[in-house]
Amino acid sequence: MSEQDILLKIEHLSKYYSGVKALDDVSFAVRRGEVHAICGENGAGKSTLIKILTGAIEPTRGQFKFAGKIYEKITPPQAIEAGIRVIYQEFTLIPYLSVAENVFYGQELMKGIVIDSKEINRMTSRMCRELGIDMNPRTKAESLGVAHQQIVEILKAISQSAKLFIMDEPTAPLTMNETKIFFGVVEKLKAEGATIIFISHRLEEIFEICDSVTVFCDGKCVVTKDIAELDKKSLISYMVGRDLDENYPKPGVAPGEEILRVDNVTGNGLKNVKFSLRRGEILGFGGLVGAGRTELAKVIFGADAADRCDMMFKGKPYAPKSPADALAFGIGLIPEDRKAQGLVMEMSIRQNITIGVLKKISRGIFIDGGMEDRYTDKYMSSLKINTPSAGAPVKYLSGGNQQKVVLAKMLATNCDVLIFDEPTRGIDVGAKQEIYHLMRELADEGKAIMMISSEMPELVGLSDRIVVMSGGQSVAELQREEYSQELILGHASSKLSAEV
C-alpha cells in the first residue's frame, strides 16, 4: 500500500510500566476508509495503544504518523483536533439533555448569548439522515435504547470532524437487533470514507464488519492481515499463541437428583416461571433482552422480591429474603456486572475471595491469617487465577481472572447451586474456554448450574437443557437433541409476538 492510502501508521511503539512491557515495539498501518480490527486477549496491549493514540498516556518509545503528521506524543485536545475519537462501551452522555444538546455539548452553536437550539437540531437531523437513522434530535438521551445512545456518541465524533473512529467493544451492551442497527451505521460511515478501528471479543463480528485485522499478544503485534486471508481458527491461534479447541466440553457424568424446583415465581417482571434443576447439569436460560432471566436470577438469589415464590430446595420450601439467606442455603450468583455487583475493585484478590466466609476464618473480631491464606491459595490454584500476588487489587486483573475471583468467592461458601449470569461477557477467547471447562468440571463434581447467556453458540454448546424465556415467562424447555438457533429465537419472540 502507498503512503497516500495510509491514515495511521504505528512505528515501534513501546510502553513500559516499572519494567513491565504493556506494549513492545508495535508497528502496523491502517488504511483510509477501512474497518480495521484489533484483536487480542485481555492484557494483550489494546487498551494501552488506545490511550497512547488519544493522549491519555505517553509512549516510552516510538511514534505514530496520523494524517501525514508525526507524533512522538499527543495530548487529548491535540488528538481531538487531529480527528481521533474513541467510542467506548460505557457512554458519556448527559441523560437529561437532548440528543442534539449531547452531540454539540462543549462546542455549542450560539445565537447571541443563548444556544441556537434550532440550528443544532437541524444539524443533528441532517447527520441522522446521512447515517440512515430515524432519531428525533429533541429526544432526551435517558429515553434512548442502548444502540441509539451508542449512535449519539458517533454523532458527537462526527460533529467534531473525526477522521478516525476507535470503537472499543461497542457492541458489548447491545442485543442482536441493536447490533444490526449499529453495524448499519458503521457501514454508512465506511461508505462515506471514514476510517474505523474496531475492537471486539466477538470474533464473528470481526469477520462480518472488518476489512483487516491486527493481532496483539503479550504486548506485541503478532500479525496484520486482510480478513479474507483468515478463518476463525487461524485468528484464534494468532491471538492465544497456540491452537485452541473450540469445542465445548461435554458432560462427564449424568445429571443426578433434583436440587431446585421452581413451581411459580410471579412478580418483579415475572409471571408463573417454572423449571427444575438437577445436580450435575448446566441448565441454560435463553431469551431476548428484557425476557426476565436476570430478574429471575435475582429472585432466586434473594436480591429482589417477588409477589409469589413457590420454590423447593433440596426437598424443602425455599424463600430467601436476602442474598445472605441464599448463600446460607447454598445458592450463589456470579452476576452479569462483575465489577459493580461481584467484586470490590479496590480490595485485594484475597479479600474478595474470602469476604463471604469471614465468620469461618475469624477468631473473635480478628481474621485468622493462616485460614485466609489457605482459602485463597486453594481457589487461586484450582481456578488458575493468574496474578503475581494475592494481595494485588482485583481491579488490575484481566476480565477473565476477575470472573474467576467472583467464582472463587462463591465456591468458598460451598454453594451447591451456582447461577452464572452472562459468564463470559467482556472476556477474551482464551479465558472463555477456561471458564467453560471450569463450569463443566463443577457440574461433573455434582454442582448444579444455571447459566444465563445471550451468546447463542455458548448457550447451545454448553447447556444440557435450555429453558427459553419471553415476556417474563418460561415458554419452552428444550432437550439437547432439539437445539437450533431458529427454534430458540422463535420461542424467545413468541410472547412478544402474541402481545403485539
Cα(30)–Cα(185) distance, rounded to whole angstroms? Answer: 20
Extract the C-alpha cell encoding 83.
480527528
Q: Is the pLDDT of residue 498 over 60?
A: no
CB 267 within 8 A of CB 242: no
Q: Which H/E stretch holds residue 93? A: none
Alpha helices in 55-142 (DSSP H): 76-82, 99-103, 117-130
- The pLDDT tens digits of the residues spanning 110-163 come to 777 878 888 888 988 988 888 777 889 999 988 887 778 878 888 888 887 789
Identify the CA nearest to 146 among candidates 102, 91, 200, 188. Answer: 91
pLDDT tens for 208-265 read 999 999 999 878 999 999 999 998 888 878 876 655 555 789 888 899 999 999 999 9
Asked whether 156 and 214 are in contact (CB, 8 A), the reply is no
Nearest-5° Cα angle at 384, 353 to 452: 70
- Fill in the DSSP letter of residue 98: B
User: Would you state the pLDDT for residue 493?
Assistant: 72
Residue 185: which pLDDT band, with cuts at 50, 70 and 90?
A: confident
Residues facing residue 137 across a β-bridge: none
Render 198-241 in DSSP notation, one character per residue.
EE-S-HHHHHHH-SEEEEEETTEEEEEEEGGG--HHHHHHHHHT
- Label the pairing between strands 417-421 and 366-367: unpaired
State the CB neighbour count (10 A cutoff) for residue 477.
15
- Contacts of residue 251, Cβ cutoff 8 Å, sequence gap at least 6: 280, 281, 282, 440, 443, 444, 464
Which residues pair with residue 267 across a beta bridge? Answer: 270
**Gyration radius of the chain's alpha carbons:** 25
Q: In the chain, what are the domains?
A: 3-240 (3.40.50.300), 258-499 (3.40.50.300)
Amino acid 490: pLDDT? 83
| Closest of 149, 131, 442, 434 to residue 282, by C-alpha | 442
340-346 own/partner pairs: CB under 8 Å, 24+ apart: 342/402, 342/406, 342/409, 343/394, 343/402, 343/405, 343/406, 344/394, 345/393, 345/394, 345/395, 346/393, 346/395
Reported pTM: 0.63
